[in-house]
Amino acid sequence: MSMQPGILVIYTGGTIGMVEDSETGVLNPFDFEHLTDQIPEIKKFNYRIDSISFDPIIDSSNMEPAVWVRLARLLEENYEAYEGFVILHGSDTMAYTASALSFMLENLSRPVILTGSQLPIGMIRTDGKENFITAIEIAAARKDGRAIVPEVCIYFEYQLYRGNRTHKYNAEHFEAFRSVNYPVLAQAGVHIRYNEAAIHQATDQEFRIFTRLDTNIAVLKLFPGISPSVVSAVLSTEGVRAVIIETYGAGNAPTQQWFMEALREATAKGLIICNVSQCRGGAVIQGKYETSAWLEKAGVVSGRDMTIEAAVTKLMYLLGNGYSTSRVKKYFQKPLRGEMTA
């Protein structure tokens, strides 16, 4: 392995890779072979930086599991050749991709840092340059010969987050992401200060990828006045194996007879129903109030303090494993990649 750290940049698409045509003003993806023309600062890095660009590039609104599989395979193919990876990605679905990859990449010992920007990299006020430069530095950071951050992370606006703890909360500000239920892994200022106590420790087990994802899930968001027909339509959708119910507060749901019976009947038929709070901060605590105690008895499993992005992708991963209903329920409630508090 080279003494000079090797970083592979994978450009999937998104605002960060756009430059403005000087004549038409239209935003077009720039050629990553000429990356240093846009960001000459990277020449100062003593790193070997290579790039792979998707063709065609993918708007993050069109992100889907097939792309996650493609990314996982690219990482597997290049895993031994590079010390770290930076994935440039649109911000809208970045938290879903980061969460999915955290489950798909098993025994990870190298940094996989996702980043992007709110303004194209070719614009004067872009946030993309700082995000990109610091993401590379974090991907290359080592201590005693080992990666400092051997995790799937999101770096945005001076903060490094655990990917599966993160959600996009703002479409306008440069500070687009938050991780409410887990501390930041690093803060970039004059120095990059790593929160080593919060960072996952790598194992010496062999790296491998998991690519069988089952997307037969649905999300049912509760609201006052939700109708029996809507609930029934979601719970009885043909082919659906699991439903995430976005509940109120600490995991509370209506206690109307029709709603309770609908959930009991669904779980009795083998449907997996998971409870995730609509609140971005805090956790589901089934049984804390009367309005959640019955969910436990009805066979609903708690997502505790998981984000909806982590819950969705974790279910795809668990169902893709071919586990029995009882095993999916068991593992959904256990932290597998630091996505929930034990």
State pLDDT tens for residues 160-170: 999 999 998 87
Range of weakest confidence among 10-19, 71-80, 104-113: 10-19
Residue-wise pLDDT for 71-100, tens only, equals 999 999 999 999 999 999 988 999 999 999
Catalytic site residue from 12, 15, 93, 307? 15
In a domain, 339, yes or no: no
Whether residue 149 is found in the same domain as residue 223: no
Which of 209, 237, 256 is at the close of a domain? 209
Statement to judge: residues 141 and 247 lie in one domain: no
Q: Bin 147: left if φ > 0, else alpha if -120 < ψ < 50, else beta.
A: beta
CA distance 251 to 284: 4
Residue 292 scores a pLDDT above 90: no
Domain of 310, CATH number, reads 3.40.50.40
Q: Which of 209, 241, 275 corresponds to the end of one domain? A: 209
Is the pTM here over 0.85, yes or no? yes
**For the chain, how many structural domains are there in total?**
2
Q: Which of 18-22, 39-43, 88-92 has the lowest mean pLDDT?
A: 18-22
Residue 108 class from Cβ within 10 Å (0-12 exposed, 13-18 middle, 19+ buried)? buried
pLDDT at residue 17, rounded to an integer: 76
What the block records as the tokens of 85 is 């990876």
Residue showing tokens 């993918």: 58
The residue out of 156, 186, 209 marking a domain boundary is 209
The answer to the question of residue 133 being in a domain is yes
Q: Is residue 123 part of a domain?
A: yes
Mean pLDDT of 310-326: 97
Told to judge if 15 belongs to the known catalytic residues of this protein, a careful annotator would answer yes
- Is residue 107 in a domain? yes
Q: Is 338 within a domain?
A: no
Range of the domain at 289: 217-332
pLDDT value, residue 117 = 86
Amino acid at 337: R
Token pair listed for 191: 């120095």
- Domain containing 33 — which CATH number? 3.40.50.1170
Residue 267's Cβ-count burial label (10 Å; 0-12, 13-18, 19+) is buried
Task: Please state, for a pLDDT cut of 90, what percent of the chain lies above it.
Answer: 71
* Residue labelled with tokens 């000079």: 4
- Among residues 145, 149, 121, 165, the alpha carbon closest in space to that of 311 is found at 165
Q: How confident is the model at residue 283, as a pLDDT?
A: 92
Give pLDDT tens digits for 116-153: 887 777 677 878 788 999 999 999 999 998 999 999 99
337 part of a folded domain: no
List pLDDT tens digits, range 264-284.
Answer: 999 999 999 999 999 989 999
Are both 152 and 55 inside the same structural domain?
Answer: yes
Q: Are residues 234 and 309 in the same domain?
A: yes
- Note the pLDDT tens digit of each residue in 156-193: 989 999 999 999 887 665 667 889 999 999 999 989 99
